[in-house]
Structure 1
Amino acid sequence: MALFPLLMLVAACGEDAGDLLAKAQSDFAAHDYRSARLNLIAALKQDPGNRDMQLLQARTLLALGDGDGAGALLERLKAADASRPELVELSAEAALLRVAPDKALNLLGDLKTPEAERLRALAALQSDDINSAETHFANAVASGDNARAFADYARLRLLQGNRTAANDLITRAEHIAPQGLDTLLIRARYAQQAGDLQKALGRYSQAARLYPSNLAALLGEAEVRADLGQLDQLDSLLAQVGERGGQGLEVDYLKARLALARKKWADVRKIVQPLEARIPKLHPIRMTYAEALLELGQYQLAAAQIQPIVQSAPNNRLAVKLLAQAQLAAGDAQAALATYRPIAESSEARPEELVLMARIAKAAKDPNASRYAARAATSAPETLGRDLAEADAAMRAKDWARAVTAYDRILAVTDGRNAIVLNNMAYAQLMLGNDAKALDYAERALKLAPDNSSVLDTAGWTLFKIGKDPARAKEFLRRAAEMAPNNATIQEHYALASGRPR
């Protein structure tokens, strides 16, 4: 036990059990489950038979994800009152935390409550029985008052790719419990999948603030920070996870992503290698590991990691590319040719994919090498047009993450001197919270088009939003506003920077 919690527990031992229970109840209401647990430990030392304290401790342990501790405590409580529905439901939840779906179902028996149906649905999911899960979720939400049931059902719909149904369920959960943990987490996940990373970040941050003991909120925020390339913030969040005892594959995955982003290939291997036997076949940590192994020259090992993903998801273009690169580097050009041919022969093949295929074909002495190279050259303008259209659509839809991806592709195949592309990339990066990247792109655009009103606006607004050089920011926005008097957005930016909200 860490020193600070230990000191808290020692101090608590001098207080009356009733006072300690009141503190624990206050902590629980504030979602500070770690403090609640410590106060209850001290209270139960003085009054070990107090059932109210034991029940609150069981709820607290469940909130902390301790299925073993909660289950043992609930068994003792059930011994005196086995028919109480609340105890049955909590015991089943503890069993699910231990990934014991059959035990959970046995505990629930024929109990007919919305919560019991929600738990049956989760047990079915743990047993990969999707049809049964859907039936029980439908029963669970029929009463219309169980926010957790709506949130869990939405999670299943998201996994099934039914975003419309998921959004409807999330909206229902938000109506019942707008600040509920499950509600916040599923809305964050929905926004993350939609590419609205700023909204996802906001919901995860809100959940972490309201539920300071919850690791899922911290891990969700860390995942978004990783997606945004915000490495320092990711590092800080992982440190907080460690301080709270967080561990497991998802934590290791984020640690590996951080090491990969920092090009610490050996660190990635050190993190992942001990887990190899336990990694699910399709877990994305395999991709991270394979990339590091490629950089370390361990080509055959990299191919072994990525092969299961390609077999199960042949349309995963990044996985197929990594496998082909590993095979080519290992000297098996024929295997690389067979692996990458479906991508290269696709009508949607991108110029960079065709360039790689030309290289593979040349190494394999395949006569089609020159054809792939010619296709790469002729498809570039058409592909560039598609990317520009996608980027423009993403900007209009405020899908900043998709816009950044499209602009990245455009900049990779051009000379990087298109002021509008740089300007739009700057704005999208700013909306994602990547301040340093936004400023870099804005400055590059400004050098190319110093008298363009949109470029001036983006540069000024970026400086204003990140709090850097306010005088320069205001000057850029003033010039932009003078040049575009009918542009409402530019006029609003200038007004806000001038302290005159419109």
Structure 2
Amino acid sequence: MNLLTRIAIPLLAVALAAGCRESPDAQFDRAQASYAARDFEAARIAVSAALRDEPTNRDMLALLARIQLNLGDADAADGALRRLMATGAKGPEIRIMLAELALLRKQPDEALKLAASSTSTDSWRIRAGAYLQLGEQDKAADAFEQGMAAGNDIRLATDYARFRLQADDAPGAAAIYQRMQAMAPDAYETQVLAGDLAVARGQTQDAITAYRTVTRNFPGRIAPYLALASQLDLQGKVDAAMAEVEKAEKLGSGNVDVQTLKIQLLSEKGEWQKIRDALQGQEGDLEPGSGLGMTYAEALLRLGHPEQARVLFARAVLVLPGNPYAAMMLGEAQLATGDAASAWATLRPLAESTLADARLLELAEKAARASGDPEADRLRDRLQPQRLKAVQALVGQGQAALIRQDWNAAIPIYERLLGAGPDPEVLKRLAFASSKAGRGDAAIGYADRALAMQPANAEYLHMAGLVRLNAGKDLPEALRYLQAAATADPRNADMQADLAKAKAVAG
């Protein structure tokens, strides 16, 4: 090959590559189409490619900023907005994007200030989000309503529906869903909400059907696969659930939610060595009390390392003082290390509940018997198959009623369970169901009886405050109880949210 030929071939390759490459306009068109389809990752890749050739194109930079805001990436959105404003761009759209950036950075006052002069649906959505961060639920609801009146906006409607679901207002969320179906029936958010509504109503099979539709229509999204897997798991279809998690894993192997659900399913299958192998290099990063942390601790226990498991579960109990699983597993680890007295002290309060299941009762009986406590005989009586089956059937009925939010059905079931004797856990459920059914005085009575039995328990402090807040009665006392609960269990998001709501109501 002569010198001229050697030069000509690379030049021809460059020319061919240049001829095949998409123009910036074509890449931008593709980015806009992906953005309209709510496929933000594909839109980000396409517009970033277009910007390589036109780095100061305002329209492209504005789209990139909107994409990053939708992805929830505050730093990347900030960078895109800086580049956009460096071109001289300004005006209402920039202020709204800056307001959303402030919201992502948990700066609600700044977000409200920046959105104040706008009446667009985006501005109402941002206001609602800011009020939620401030704990002002009523103002958030009003902002959502004004936004819905201002026009059709799928993001605002989605956020409003989630707000209603978190407030246990499934009918309210369903009304918003009907409007979403009218405005964008094929949208990802609309189809996902169909599944979420079914979950809220306790309709597991309907949720599975809805999430399967989403995974078929939007195969590149991780969340629907995980939602589907969770519902399959509820039906006891662990292998089917694992298959969906593995599909999600192919889309994002480093996703924490994917890993967490996969580890949970492995624990249900009893594949403890796989769990240990998967998490062994991450021990230092596992937070005490996290799902991954406690599953890893259980894997150690099952694989014959009870002392290590005991240390991890002891840490979990410290950060999750009201978590029955953490306490039960600590008791089992203590028993496995030969410390029957400590195990019995840990397990006894749990076993005293009428709601205790067979596994807990068996552990408690072993600990009591090894400690020489005569209570072991009473626990053995409770484990008699016929008696246990009858009690557990009633417990299952009560739990099912709570899941489907049939409060008036749940109340008599838990009243029957209370007939076995004073039980703070049963009283807590009675308080919750009564509060949801609008029986405020009864709810307060049940909650106070539970708290009287265990005055330092964060769960019972929380319930005593929550039922007062829901009933609109004795708000100073409600605030005091909720503050005490949030202090006792500072990592509990529900307690922190209810405290913020109480503060907003109290002014």
TM-score, with normalisation over the residues of structure 2?
0.62
Name the structure 1 match of 2:394: 386
Name the structure 2 match of 1:105: 111
**Does residue 1:326 correspond to 2:330, yes or no?**
no
Cα distance in 2 for partners of 1:272, 1:134 equals: 43
**1:284–1:63 Cα change, 3 Å:** same
In structure 1, stretches of 5+ residues that fail to align are 1-9, 400-502
**1:191–1:107 Cα change, 3 Å:** same
Aligned partner of residue 143 in structure 1, secondary structure: helix
Name the structure 2 match of 1:135: 139
Q: What is the identity, as a one-letter code, of the residue corresponding to 1:383? A: V
Shift of 1:265: 1.9
**1:206–1:63 Cα change, 3 Å:** farther
Shift of 1:12: 8.7
Query: Which of 374, 378, 392 is equivalent to 1:371?
Result: 378
Name the structure 1 match of 2:412: none
**Does residue 1:293 correspond to 2:316, yes or no?**
no
**1:111–1:183 Cα change, 3 Å:** farther
**Does residue 1:49 correspond to 2:56, yes or no?**
yes
Q: What is the identity, as a one-letter code, of the residue corresponding to 1:138? A: D
User: Which deviations, in whole Å up to 9, do the C-alpha atoms of 1:261-311 show, x marking residues without a partner?
Assistant: 443323323444555565566543344233222212333443444456656
Name the structure 2 match of 1:412: none
Q: What is the identity, as a one-letter code, of the residue corresponding to 1:373? A: R
Name the structure 1 match of 2:129: 122
Q: What is the identity, as a one-letter code, of the residue corresponding to 2:111? A: L
Name the structure 2 match of 1:451: none
Name the structure 2 match of 1:181: 188
TM-score, with normalisation over the residues of structure 1?
0.63
Cα distance in 2 for partners of 1:62, 1:288 equals: 34
Cα distance in 1 for partners of 2:35, 2:54 equals: 19
Shift of 1:361: 0.3
Cα distance in 1 for partners of 2:124, 2:226 equals: 28
1:187-198 alignment to 2 at 5 Å? 187-198=194-205
Cα distance in 2 for partners of 1:235, 1:120 equals: 40
Q: Report % sequence identity.
A: 32
Cα distance in 1 for partners of 2:142, 2:124 equals: 9
Name the structure 1 match of 2:23: 16
User: Which deviations, in whole Å up to 9, do the C-alpha atoms of 1:348-405 show, x marking residues without a partner?
Assistant: 44455433322110011112111221233273353265379679x88xx9x9xxxxxx
The answer as to whether partners of 1:31 and 1:211 remain within 8 angstroms in 2 is no
**Does residue 1:341 correspond to 2:348, yes or no?**
yes
Q: What is the identity, as a one-letter code, of the residue corresponding to 1:155? A: R
Query: Which of 231, 250, 271 is equivalent to 1:224?
Result: 231
Cα distance in 2 for partners of 1:102, 1:24 equals: 30
**1:60–1:83 Cα change, 3 Å:** closer
Shift of 1:88: 3.1
In structure 2, stretches of 5+ residues that fail to align are 1-16, 407-507
What value does the CA root-mean-square deviation take over the aligned residues?
3.9
User: Which deviations, in whole Å up to 9, do the C-alpha atoms of 1:405-455 show, x marking residues without a partner?
Assistant: xxxxxxxxxxxxxxxxxxxxxxxxxxxxxxxxxxxxxxxxxxxxxxxxxxx
The answer as to whether partners of 1:154 and 1:166 remain within 8 angstroms in 2 is yes
Shift of 1:233: 5.0
Name the structure 1 match of 2:34: 27
Cα distance in 1 for partners of 2:237, 2:373 equals: 43
Cα distance in 2 for partners of 1:338, 1:168 equals: 50
Shift of 1:192: 3.0
User: Which deviations, in whole Å up to 9, do the C-alpha atoms of 1:292-345 show, x marking residues without a partner?
Assistant: 222123334434444566567666544443232122112222222222222322
The answer as to whether partners of 2:58 and 2:87 remain within 8 angstroms in 1 is no
Name the structure 1 match of 2:476: none
Aligned partner of residue 338 in structure 2, secondary structure: coil
Cα distance in 1 for partners of 2:320, 2:64 equals: 44
Q: What is the identity, as a one-letter code, of the residue corresponding to 1:115? A: D
Q: What is the identity, as a one-letter code, of the residue corresponding to 1:291? A: E
**Does residue 1:40 correspond to 2:47, yes or no?**
yes
**Does residue 1:88 correspond to 2:95, yes or no?**
yes
